[in-house]
Amino acid sequence: MILQTRGIGKSFGSVVALRDVSMGVAAGEVTCVLGDNGAGKSTLIKILSGVHAHDAGAYLVDGAEVRFSSPREALDRGVATVYQDLAMIPLMSVWRNFFLGSEPRRRLAFDVARARRVAREELRAMGIDIRDVDQPVGTLSGGERQSVAIARAVYFGARVLILDEPTSALGVKQAGVVLRYIARARDRGLGVVLITHNPHHAYPLGDRFLLLNRGTSLGEYGKSDITKEELTGLMAGGAELDELSHELRRP
């Protein structure tokens, strides 16, 4: 395992946001973290990415316990996070956004030619066909912007890629595009953590599934241990879903 949590927990004053959550992320695999709003997914992401420090349990990278104090520390250990807002500037070009904050230099000046070339080559290596790397990133579709963010993280040395609801605001076709790029990152040997509330996106791609509900774990399952229907039922709350179906049925 590249990354593991063992009984991890986090409280904010008297509010317990996360309690006793264990999960693992292996190279070349996708671990899907599923849960409804308020399940604790955001708190877990922030612990993994170094925004928050956990106050219970253990967080391990390459088998050694860590306690990150910033996202930069996490990134230095190969743990990169792509948030929903993507941390991009819409009016800047694709290649400027690709190197934002890590611009290549040549004799103290920004090496523009190299930045354009590398951005184009890295996007192509991920199978991403951007028409023109000089175009503003804001002119790309939602799926294309997600793919640029994924390629950027891979280029800058991510070994674990954490994706925060990457398909939540996308239509069916664009969501499919993003899922293909996630699969390509997995096939390049990265460990991927896919945060989602959509079991239909998670199940085809996932190797492991962690289900959260109100800050607690409902269990971590391998793909051979659970069907898509069982996954959906656990997420929705099977008994509650049956009761709702009964209420909505025509008299």
pTM for the complete prediction? 0.86
* Whole-number pLDDT of residue 239: 54
CATH class of this structure's domain 3-88+157-248: alpha beta
* Whole-number pLDDT of residue 54: 93
pLDDT, tens digit (0-9, with 9 covering 90-100), for 133-169: 999 988 988 888 888 888 888 888 899 999 998 888 7
Low-confidence ranges of the chain (pLDDT < 50): none
Residue 67: both structure tokens together: 């306690």
Residue 153: both structure tokens together: 């993280």
* Whole-number pLDDT of residue 62: 94
From CA 106, how far away is CA 55, in angstroms rounded? Answer: 44
pLDDT, tens digit (0-9, with 9 covering 90-100), for 43-72: 999 999 999 999 999 999 999 999 998 988
Burial of 81 (0-12, 13-18, 19+ CB in 10 A): buried
Computed from CA positions of residues 14, 18, 21, 23, in that sequence, does the dihedral angle turn out positive or negative?
A: negative
Helix (H), strand (E), coil (C) string for 111-141: CHHHHHHHHHHHHHHCCCCCCCCCCEHHHCC
Burial of 117 (0-12, 13-18, 19+ CB in 10 A): middle
* Whole-number pLDDT of residue 243: 64
For the chain, give every domain's residue range.
Answer: 3-88+157-248
* Whole-number pLDDT of residue 77: 93
Residue 248: both structure tokens together: 């909505």
* Whole-number pLDDT of residue 241: 53
Q: Which residues pair with 194 in a beta bridge?
A: 32, 163
* Whole-number pLDDT of residue 244: 58
